[in-house]
Homo-oligomer: A and B are copies of this chain.
Amino acid sequence: MTVALKKPHKSARKPKGDGHLRRGEILAAAERIFIAEGYAGATIRKIADAVGVSSTALYMHFRDKDQILLEIGDDAIGQLLAVNVDIAHRPIDAVERVRLMLEAYMKFALDNPNTYQLVFCGSRDVISKEKQAATAELGDRCFAEFSGPIHEIAAAGRLRTGSGESAAQVLWAACHGLVALLITMPDRNWAPREELMKVTLDGLLHGLVTD
């Protein structure tokens, strides 16, 4: 057809993404918007607009909105896992490794509040369970890395109370609670964050572990 000669491309269409390039663009735009505006703010249409593509196009590359955001969450947990693995290999006391991991965890949460909420506060309302398979698996590995040094402590008979497993869960939960509250209620009269983190870690580690 002569059409191509008359007008180069009257369509405002984006050129085809070579390979799976488009998928990456979508993820990048989605992450940017999600980080800035949270779950509800990151709508399919907004993401599509940012990429310069129709909203329908997102469904070529992702099953649904949750899959996009969960993939972002997976990335984030992946980073966390890497940090934990790194700390796990350091030749320092197990208690110190535990402390470093928890500090990194809380720092991550406070630096990425929306992503943290998505992954760790995702109510059953918002994201259905089946979709979280990959995320949950990464989370498990993250927790396993964290449990390592704690089981060392337990094996050394340094645990004052409870099993290694419950100690690990309790430590995680305490840190989760702190950052979750700081994130969801930022306007309360909180003591300085560093002090809260320190009191949490010092208090619990001193309470759970004999030296």
Question: Which A residues are within 8 Å of any B CB, using their own CB?
Answer: 38-41, 117, 120-126, 129, 160-163, 165-167, 169-170, 172-178, 180-181, 184, 187, 189-191, 195-196, 198-200, 202-208
**Are B129 and A123 neighbours in the complex by a CB distance under 8 Å?**
no
Residues A125 and B40 in contact in the complex (CB < 8 Å), given A169-B196, A177-B173: yes
In chain B, what residue has the closest Cβ to A165?
B191
**Residues in B whose Cβ lies below 8 Å from that of A170:** 174, 178, 196, 199-200, 203
6 contacting pairs across A/B (C-beta < 8 A)? A38-B123, A39-B123, A120-B184, A169-B196, A173-B196, A174-B200
**Are B196 and A207 neighbours in the complex by a CB distance under 8 Å?**
no
In chain B, what residue has the closest Cβ to A192?
B166
**Within the assembled complex, what's the spacing in Å between the Cα atoms of A189 and B39?**
27
**Are B125 and A187 neighbours in the complex by a CB distance under 8 Å?**
no
Q: How far is the CB of A77 from chain B (nearest CB, A)?
A: 14
**Are B161 and A199 neighbours in the complex by a CB distance under 8 Å?**
yes
**Are B167 and A124 neighbours in the complex by a CB distance under 8 Å?**
no
**Within the assembled complex, what's the spacing in Å between the Cα atoms of A39 and B205?**
37
Q: How far is the CB of A138 from chain B (nearest CB, A)?
A: 14
**Residues in B whose Cβ lies below 8 Å from that of A199:** 161-162, 166-167, 170, 208
Contact of A117 among B123, B172, B202, B205 (CB under 8 A): B123
**Are B207 and A203 neighbours in the complex by a CB distance under 8 Å?**
yes
